Structures are given as C-alpha cells and as structure tokens.
Structure 1
Amino acid sequence: MLVVAPAFAPFLEPEMLPSDVLSWSAALVPALVLPLRRRAPVAVLVALVALFAITAIGGPLLPGIGLAIAVAVFHLANDTSRKASLVVGGVVMGVMTAISVTVAVTRDLDAHVFQFIVTIAFAAAAGDATRSRREYLVAVTERADRAEQTREAEARRRVTEERLRIARDLHDAVAHQIAVISLNAGVASTAMDTDPERARAALGTIRGAARTVLAEIGDLLSMLRSDGQDAPATAPQPGLGQLDELMDQFSSTGLEVHRRIEGDLSRVRGSAGMVAYRVVQESLTNAHKYGSGHRAHVLVAVLPETLRIVVTNPVDHGAPASVPDGAATPVPGAGVGLIGIRERVSSVRGTVHAGLVPGGWRVSAELPIPKEETT
C-alpha cells in the first residue's frame, strides 16, 4: 500500500506521477514483487534495482520504486549480519548512484535520486538496528534462563548437602547412644539376678545415654525449626580433646579399647579434630555392635602434616571375605555410618579405607592438618 499510494497522491509534482505504460508499470510492479522478499530477498532486491534502472532511463523516477527498494534493503539487513547489511546497502546505493550519473550524461540528473539513496541508507541502518535489538533480547533471555537454571541447580545442590549434613548429624546424635542403650539393656537383663550391682550400673548408663540422645535430638530439632538468624546456641562439636572420654565410655559398656596416641593431639583442632572424633566414634560403635571378642585397637598418630587414625577389631569368621571401599553396606546395618565417615573425611580432603584384613575389620583414615591449625 505504501509503495502504490504515491502513484495516486494529488499533492506530488506532476512529473512524479505515472503518465504512460512504463511509469504505471514502475509504480505497480514493485507492489507485486515485494511480497516475495521473504522467500527470495536478494532476487527481489535485484529486480527492483533493475526496475529502477529502467525507470531512470525511460522516464521520471517515481517515489514508489525508491520506497520499494528501501523496504527490500530493510528486510535483507534485518535477516542478515551487520557486515552483509553494510555490503548490501553500500552496493545498492553505489549502483543507484552509478545509474543516475550515467543517465545524467544524456539528460539532466534527477535530484530525487539523492532522496532515494538517503532513504535506503536509513532503511539499511534501521534493519541492522532491528536485528541487533532482536539478537540482544534473545541473548538477554538466554542469559536469564541460564541464570535461573544455575540458581535452581545451586538450590538443589544446597538442599542435597543440607539433607546429607542433617542425616550425618542425626546419625551421630542417635546411633552411638542407641547402641550404648541396647548393649547395656542386654547387660542389665542378664545380670539382674546374678549381679544386681552390675545391672544397676547398666541401667544408670542407659539413663544417661537416653538423656544425652534426647538433648542432642532436641538441639537438632531446634536448629531445624529456626530461620538461621535466630538459631539457638548448641553444644560445641566434640574433638580430639574428648577422645579419652569417648573411649572410656566404650570401656564402661564392655568394649575393651586398647589405645595408642602418638604426637600432640592439641595440634589438631577445628574441622579436622571433629572429623577425627567422629571416625573413632563410628568405628568403635561398629566394633561394639558387630565385632567379636569385645575388644578394639585405636591408633591416633599426629604426623607433621597429617593425622592418621586406625581402628581395628576382630570379627566373626562368617563375615564376608572382602568388601570394597565404595560399597554402600560393607557389613549388615553399618553402611550408613561408614558412608557418613567417608563424607566427613572427604569434606576435609582426607582419605578413608574400610574393610576386612587378616586381623579382622580395619578402618584407616588420613586427614590433612591445615597450617592454620598447626600453629
């Protein structure tokens, strides 16, 4: 419509209105050719430039042909790269200028050609700007989508880590004390008639373990119910300073613990000390629950850069011949605890190995001692 309308505009100069077959063709043909620009943009542009050349040679330059070329250039610049749009716009303007100069040799140069060239330049710039804006919006949308996906992945990762941490804390809070309760309940039931004093001592141990596990579970639930900022103060995490107390507790429940300490335990503090305590606690708990002979050996060696922990205990001959380190359940009922040990040791960049050895079951862990914790 925009291309055909100038042919009927009463306000245009008379020489710019169609008056013969050639001029009417130049006015109407572009309107028929332009709809094909989406399928063959280059061919349509070439045809319009050729029609411009014919019109420039045979008659007056009509506004419709200039507008048609501008529309074709805009479409091509909108669908191609910036380099291609600059080349196309420059070539079209150069060809039109060359045609106009050539025609001017035989007759006067039509001044409207400069208006056409400026219009085409604006059309090429507008097409390039439209394409650039569209690409910018697409890039912004893609970045926003990637950022959203990254936030969701990070949220899922944090949720998973938090679930694992809660599972480890719950296991540490419950498993050891429940094992103590179970073992002392067995002692109390068998010694009730034959050794009342021993039975009363076992019941006292049960009472203390029950209070401890209830307090630890209460602290954990209070922490989970808090919003993080108003989290209640909880008891400090145990470290190697409480190691003797831990082993004495196992000894009081009937597990003979042979301990060997090498080096200065006070050099190991912070996360390494807490992880070391949990490794010994879980290993002795499993030795008490699943081992035979009611004894275990604990080696804690503080080396210059690492902390080495080795816990061994005899097992029944009916135990599996070998269990790989990556197994989920090395022995029945003890898999979750060993998984927790591996996760805790891995969190401080340490290594741990658990499995059957000629002397029984062996848990060996090596934890790096950070430099700031050795000063």
Structure 2
Amino acid sequence: MALIAILVAALLLLVRRRWPIPVLAGCVALYGLASATGTVAPGIVLAIAIATFGLANRSTRRVTIIAAAITAAAVFLLSVIGAVVSAADPRMVQFVLAVALAAAAGDATRSRREYIVAITERAERAEQTREAEARRRVSEERLRIARDLHDTVAHQIAVISLNAGLASSSLESPEKAKEALSAIRSASRAVLSEIGNLLALLRTEDPDAVITAPPPGLGRLDELVAQFAQSGLAVRLRVEGDPGRVGGTTDLVAYHVIQEGLTNALKHGGDHRAHVLVEVTDDQVAVVVTNPTVPSAVDAETRGATVGHGLLGLRERVASVRGVIESGITAGGYRLAAVLPSTKEGPG
C-alpha cells in the first residue's frame, strides 16, 4: 500500500507546476492514507516537500506561509495518528522541518527571481533614460549649431547681398562700385573666418575646446556698428552704464540681440538707419533696437507673418539666460527689445 501511495505521489509531482495546490493536497492525503495503515512513508514526505517548494516558488509569500503552516500541521497530526496505530516515529519532527525548509527555499528562490527581474527592468529603464537624454542633448546641440550658423552667416550674407545690388547699380560710378565691392570682400572674409572657427570647433574631439577668435560681446559694439555703417546702415548707438559690468552668456546674448536687430533693419528697414540703446544697471541689461519700417513690413506684421529663424533662435537664447524679449511694429517703426539679468558684478 505504501509503495502504491509513493508511486501515485510521484505521478502527481509531474503536474505540480500546473496545479500546485491540488498536488500538495493530494500528497498530504496520500501521506495520511499511509499513516492510517501504520506505515511511515519518507518517500511521500519527500514528495510533499517537493510540492511545497513548487508552490512557494510560484505563489505569493502570503499563500506560501498559509499553505506551509497547514501542510506542516497536517503532516504532524497525521504522524501522531499513525503513531496510535503503530509505534511513534521520532522522524515526525524531521518531516515537519522538511516541509518548512522546502517552503523557505521555494520562497527564497521566488524572491531572488523577482529581484533579478526588477534589476533587469531597472537597467532597461536606465538605458532608455540614457538614450532619451542622449537624444535630448543631440537635439539641443543641433539647435545651438543652427543658432550659431545663423548668427555667423545671416548678417554677413545680408551685407554681401545688399552691396552686390549696390555695385551692380553703380557701375557707372566707379567710386561707389569700388566701395560696394570692398564691403563685399570684407564681409566675405569675415563670414569665412567665422565659419572656419565654427567648423574647427565642431571637428575637435575636445569637449572643452574653444574658438580662438575673441567672443562677441558688448565690448565689440563699435566694430559691429562700423560693419553695418560700411554697408550703408546709419546706426546711432547710445550706451548708458558700464558694459564692462556685463559678462558671461548675458554679454553674448545682448550682442546677438543687437546684431539681429541691425540685420533686420538692414534687410527690411526704411531710410537705412537704426537706433540702438544699451542700458546697464546693477542687476540687468536692457537692449533696444529700433528702425523705421517700410509699408510692406507693416502689412506683413498686420497679416501675422511667421517669425523668422533669426528671431526664433534669439528668443531661445534670451530664454536660456532667463531674460524676456519682445518685438513688433510701434508708432516709431519696428522695435526689438530684450531685458537680460546681469551675470557679472561691477567693480566695488
């Protein structure tokens, strides 16, 4: 009888993964049947331990604790009942401990498997986060390159275009044609030099490399005004305060605001004149560029023409230093204004 019970228990173990609780209950019932006949069946206890391990390995901890407690109590009580029929077997305590050990081992295996799954998922999420961060940095770098290319090329190309038109219309006046061609040559050299510096920076493998040319800033306003004056734009510059108090990114952004405003005045403004106001205080820098407009520009503004790439990039630059910028048609013409926080203390 005991041999049959052991064989049946072994057969039950074949389906323990599909029905872990019924298999465990069946093995306990077989152990009870063997005990009722006065037979101690360690083989069935081994089957109970295997079934308990399988249940703990595939169930929650709560289910495992309840099932293990019930199984251990059942094995002990059935062993006591078997002791009534035959002599008490001192191994009944070992049977109970075997069930408890199997439950603990199954729970530990399940916990380790869940831990490995959690670590794997965490690593995958971290990899996805790194990829997303890399894509974000690439996108930001593309925007930065686009802004730098526009700032480097746009106003010089505008100078070349306007002077080329002036030269073609002044062929009968050699002096004007000569001045226009000289401006074209100067602008071409400048843009080639700036593009060369930018390409050198993009090609370098050193992330901390810098362009050797002096960075643009409010200290180079006279040079900027002179370039536009050579192109036929009369610029009136007024500076209030000490530009030397401004430094870092704010200085660069302020320069680009003025550069963009003068470029637009040269390309789209009327009367070939513009006014630039730079006001430096202890905590901020205000930059205002105004110029008369032509009717076509007013009509475009009224119709809600789209903002060009230059103004779009300028807004991004100003936002990067937590400044504010506004532009549009006013009573006196076109106005571009920005207020930037100062990043450099003046001399004490």
Q: TM-score, normalised by structure 1?
A: 0.84
User: What is the rounded CA distance, in whole Å, between the counterparts of 2:76 and 2:345 in structure 1?
Assistant: 80
Match of 1:336 in 2: 309
Between 1:350-359 and 1:259-268, the stretch displaced more is: 350-359
User: What is the rounded CA distance, in whole Å, between the counterparts of 2:207 and 2:140 in structure 1?
Assistant: 19
Contact 1:61 1:112 in 2 (8 A): no
> Which amino acid counterpart does residue 266 of structure 2 have in structure 1?
H
Contact 1:323 1:355 in 2 (8 A): no
Shift of 1:170: 1.5
Match of 1:366 in 2: 339
Listed as ranges, the matches of 1:74-89 within 5 Å are 74-89=53-68
> Which amino acid counterpart does residue 181 of structure 1 have in structure 2?
I
Q: Deviations over 1:77-130 (max 9, x none)?
A: 111233432333233222222332344355422233333223222321221121
Match of 2:6 in 1: 27
3-state SS in 2 of match to 1:320? helix
Distance 1:232 1:362, change over 3 A: closer
Q: TM-score, normalised by structure 2?
A: 0.90
Match of 2:284 in 1: 306
User: What is the rounded CA distance, in whole Å, between the counterparts of 2:302 and 2:281 in structure 1?
Assistant: 29
Q: Deviations over 1:143-192 (max 9, x none)?
A: 22112111211211121122112212211221111111112222223333
Distance 1:164 1:68, change over 3 A: same
> Which amino acid counterpart does residue 23 of structure 1 have in structure 2?
A
Shift of 1:275: 0.6
User: What is the rounded CA distance, in whole Å, between the counterparts of 2:346 and 2:20 in structure 1?
Assistant: 74
- Are residue 169 (structure 1) and residue 148 (structure 2) matched? yes
Contact 2:76 2:92 in 1 (8 A): yes
Count matched residues. 345
Match of 1:159 in 2: 138
User: Structure 1 regions of 5+ residues with no counterpart?
Assistant: 1-21
User: What is the rounded CA distance, in whole Å, between the counterparts of 1:323 and 1:274 in structure 2?
Assistant: 32
Q: Deviations over 1:245-298 (max 9, x none)?
A: 212321232112233322221111111001100111011101110122212222
> Which amino acid counterpart does residue 365 of structure 1 have in structure 2?
A
3-state SS in 1 of match to 2:326? strand
3-state SS in 1 of match to 2:83? helix
Root-mean-square deviation (CA), in Å?
A: 2.3
Q: Deviations over 1:38-60 (max 9, x none)?
A: 33322222222222222212231
Match of 2:267 in 1: 289
- Are residue 216 (structure 1) and residue 194 (structure 2) matched? yes
Match of 1:9 in 2: none
Match of 1:13 in 2: none
Match of 1:184 in 2: 163
Contact 1:23 1:59 in 2 (8 A): no
3-state SS in 1 of match to 2:300? coil
Match of 1:240 in 2: 218
User: What is the rounded CA distance, in whole Å, between the counterparts of 1:246 and 1:233 in structure 2?
Assistant: 19
Contact 2:27 2:47 in 1 (8 A): yes
Structure with more relative contact order (C-alpha pairs < 8 Å, separation 6 or more): 2
Distance 1:301 1:232, change over 3 A: closer
3-state SS in 1 of match to 2:282? coil
Q: Give the fraction of aligned pairs with identical amino acids, expressed as a percent.
A: 54
Match of 1:263 in 2: 241
- Are residue 198 (structure 1) and residue 176 (structure 2) matched? yes
> Which amino acid counterpart does residue 147 of structure 1 have in structure 2?
A
